Structure 1
């Protein structure tokens, strides 16, 4: 299910969702729909979010540590420190990605790079990283989507799997932050708007949050499906 909420900041909007839905923030996915900034002292600042969530089941769920052990739920390891799978969930994810890449013809060594309360990082080491990443990361995104469909079949379906290879995610993030500032400056000078290329939810969120505090600049997502576009536009002082 999807509902939209608005607040002066993203956290205010999330707090409103928590109160209205009776859920904890880790029990739903947040997508920024639009942001606006402007007016005297930023009085018109607002963030609108779309909250994606599943209705709670009546039947009790299995123990949470079946997928995320308490001893490692918040552990984060840097590069060069891969973690061993510790649960049936983690073994299934590693085996799945290993099998899929082999059947694609691009065998990869799969390792766990970090664990958080509702997130796990998976690194693919392969001789075919360019193909695994694809244009603008679309192949990697598709493989990540398939992996998360698998993870949704386990008791802790809210755990999100993040796939990365050769540090692509970090490089892409830096590129998008630079792009957001560049386009933001352009539309502010021209007092116009510009529609960016289609992006996945994480990338759109990055654009929205990067420009959220820039005076007189607003952003909004346009389109349908997984890959939507972000429009950056000039709002003007009120």
Structure 2
């Protein structure tokens, strides 16, 4: 058979066209690529792919394979020999001179029951008691010294915050045992911030630094625009209404959750009340004041 040439847009199309011309299968021919396809630039210089097909030559003793010739069936696998039975395990010799096993005690209906073991009494832990020892109030000289330190500390903190022309005045609050620092400045609204968060952070840092190295901590309250004064007055008014409700109904009343400084204010204000008692319950930001009648 003479070689057959064919063209196409790709080499595969050229090969298919040549196979149709020859009437042979792909495994019966050898393909030679005469020219690769080129797309050119905008269709200019485009060239088709050209291939040449040649029929494969087979020797006289090995005719060309026919597609209809089935493959030789594989011989069936030989049945495997049955597994050999394992030899029974040899008995392990026991050592001699072993003590005899203790025999189980015989149960008798008339035998008295065994005596119970004496119970070991665990030492009971004493319940923790809350310390009722109140901290001794500061002397006049110590309170004056704490006010001076707090004033200097708050002024330095305000300068670091770039507060315009701050003026700090301090005084000792004997009822709450704390230093009250009042700030006056044209930037006072920035100190109050949102819900007094800036003031709360200032007094937390001032209390932490002022109490460093002392056995008893001295609280500092930093106020501006009478923010804490107004809030404490509102808290005490709400507590007073709840106290009147407790007196009328004899049932406990729970206030809204509040921070530690506000709870401390209520505890100290009504500590000597003859009609009610105050306590705190809850955890974290949900901790609240509970007002109960005195007889409960």
Q: 1:54-203 residue pairs with structure 2 within 5 A?
A: 70=141, 73-74=143-144, 90-100=151-161, 102=162, 107=164, 109-114=166-171, 119-134=178-193, 137-153=196-212, 158-203=217-262
Deviation of residue 109 (structure 1)? 0.8
Q: How many residues align?
A: 167
After superposition, the Cα gap between the structure-2 partners of 1:225 and 1:131, relative to the gap in structure 1 and judged at 3 Å, is: farther
Identify the structure with the greater strand proportion. Answer: 1
What is the SS of the residue equivalent to 2:221? strand
Q: TM-score, normalised by structure 1?
A: 0.52
Deviation of residue 215 (structure 1)? 4.8
2:278 to 219, 233, 237: 219
In the aligned structure 2, how far is the partner of 1:223 from the partner of 1:94? 36
Structure 1 segments (4+ residues) deviating >6 Å: none
Higher relative contact order, chain-length normalized (CA < 8 Å, sep 6+): 1
RMSD (Å), alpha carbons:
4.1
In the aligned structure 2, how far is the partner of 1:172 from the partner of 1:137? 10
Please tell me whether the aligned partners of residues 108 and 124 of structure 1 are also in contact (alpha carbons under 8 angstroms).
no
Q: 1:4-43 residue pairs with structure 2 within 5 A?
A: 4-5=130-131, 13=132, 17=133, 25-26=136-137
Please tell me whether the aligned partners of residues 177 and 207 of structure 1 are also in contact (alpha carbons under 8 angstroms).
yes
Deviation of residue 111 (structure 1)? 1.2
Q: TM-score, normalised by structure 2?
A: 0.43
What is the SS of the residue equivalent to 2:265? helix
After superposition, the Cα gap between the structure-2 partners of 1:185 and 1:134, relative to the gap in structure 1 and judged at 3 Å, is: farther
Identify the structure with the greater helix proportion. Answer: 1
Name which one, 1 or 2, has greater alpha-carbon Rg. 2
* 1:205-235 deviation digits (Å, cap 9, x = unpaired): 2222444455553321112348731112345
After superposition, the Cα gap between the structure-2 partners of 1:206 and 1:170, relative to the gap in structure 1 and judged at 3 Å, is: same
After superposition, the Cα gap between the structure-2 partners of 1:134 and 1:228, relative to the gap in structure 1 and judged at 3 Å, is: farther
